[in-house]
Structure 1
Amino acid sequence: MEASRQDEYREFVAMRSTALLRLAVLLTGGDRHAAEDLLQIALMKAYGRWARIEQPEAYVRQIMYRQQVNRWRLRRHHAEVTVPVLPESGGEEGAGADLELRVALWAALGRLSKRQRAVVVLRYFEDLPEAEVAALLGCPVGTVRSTAHRSLAKLRALVPDLDPGGPGEQQLPLGYTAKEMQT
């Protein structure tokens, strides 16, 4: 690869790796080590084709989605490992309730099945249309809709504070927007 393309790649990794790692953590159900592995694999695959990539972030995200779906398929019969309760962290006063809600959401996401978590992350956190989620997961659009409905119902049952008063298709679980969940 020529030097200018290597510099572009390094700049892309430096600027976007934090956001891509957040996505990887969501896709892996909060497993930081698996998320780092997922991101590393995606960046490695992108590096090999860097000269031909027109939209690098979309390309890397697509690799991450597909790689994680492949992992789920391979580990379909293995028990899922639960994540221990997150430790308390110091923060602003008044942010405690918000922090507790976020911790509860992370824990609830970990209790969803792999497919349910994938649908919620892709549909609501990544804001992908149902058809694209269906294509990524290799299932019909109706399955995505029903899985999203059941997943949101389960999240609301696990964390009652998430229910903003009614199910809105455009509204994220717990009433957060995608930007709020990424911070």
Structure 2
Amino acid sequence: MRRSKESGFREFAEARTGHLFRSACLLTSGDTHFAEDLVQETLGRMYVVWGRSSRVGNPAAYAQTVLIRAFLAHQRRRSAQERPSDELPETQDIPPGDASLRITLLDALRQLPPKDRAVIVLRYWEDRSVMETAEILNVSSAAVRTRSTRALARLREQLGGSVAEFAA
């Protein structure tokens, strides 16, 4: 029984870790170390509830919810404002045009408040509906729409006329 639980969880973790890490990188504005910590915390919490099928109907969606809530909980802590360095980590195998785009977009995301960043990642990276996003963040759907509108407006302000350039 325990082996089947572990093997089932291992398969799930191997399949979802990359996706969770990419979402975490967006949430943390490119802080890969913090993103790794969030993914590790998410998988740890998932393992605890893994055997309880009644609590986890859709493990992938539940993992995403755990990731977002772990990120928001960390942002509420006073120590979350500490940054050891302003330098971006080294990147590997990124085409030259993509590197500047990624840095620009991650810098723009970093300027958003944590909840707005979470809404943007869920709605536009994860392609979640307003209702799903509201459920994950434990807010109303009106709050999700408002945050989404305001966050997109802030991103447009920060990126200026270059938004069309990035979309092309």
- The partner residue of 2:86 within 84, 87, 97 is 84
Cα RMSD after superposing both structures: 2.9
Q: Does 1:175 align with 2:167?
A: yes
Q: CA deviation at 1:125?
A: 0.8
Letter in 1 for 2:96: G
- What TM-score, normalized by structure 1, do the two folds share? 0.74
Structure 2: 5+ residue runs without aligned partners? none
Distance 2:48 2:9 in 1: 11
- What TM-score, normalized by structure 2, do the two folds share? 0.79
Q: CA deviation at 1:28?
A: 2.5
Structure 1: 5+ residue runs without aligned partners? 166-173, 177-183
Q: CA deviation at 1:108?
A: 1.0
Structure 1 vs Structure 2: percent identity of aligned residues? 36
Q: Does 1:44 align with 2:44?
A: yes
Q: Does 1:102 align with 2:102?
A: yes
Between the two structures, name the one with larger relative contact order (CA 8 Å, sep ≥ 6): 2
Deviations 1:109-134 (A, max 9, x none): 11111122111111111111122222
8 Å contact kept, 1:123–1:133: yes
Instruction: Identify the residue that residue 34 of structure 2 maps to in structure 1.
Output: 34
Deviations 1:45-88 (A, max 9, x none): 1112212244322221121122222223344x964649635367
Instruction: Identify the residue that residue 142 of structure 2 maps to in structure 1.
Output: 142
Q: Do the aligned partners of residues 88 and 63 (structure 1) sit closer, same or farther apart at CA in structure 2, a change above 3 Å counting? A: closer
Q: Larger helix proportion, structure 1 or 2?
A: 2
Instruction: Identify the residue that residue 159 of structure 1 maps to in structure 2.
Output: 159
- The partner residue of 1:67 within 49, 67, 70 is 70
Q: 2:70 aligns to what SS in structure 1? A: helix
Instruction: Identify the residue that residue 132 of structure 2 maps to in structure 1.
Output: 132
* Runs of 4+ with >6 A deviation: none
8 Å contact kept, 1:25–1:35: yes
In the alignment of these two chains, the number of paired residues is 165
Distance 1:82 1:106 in 2: 17
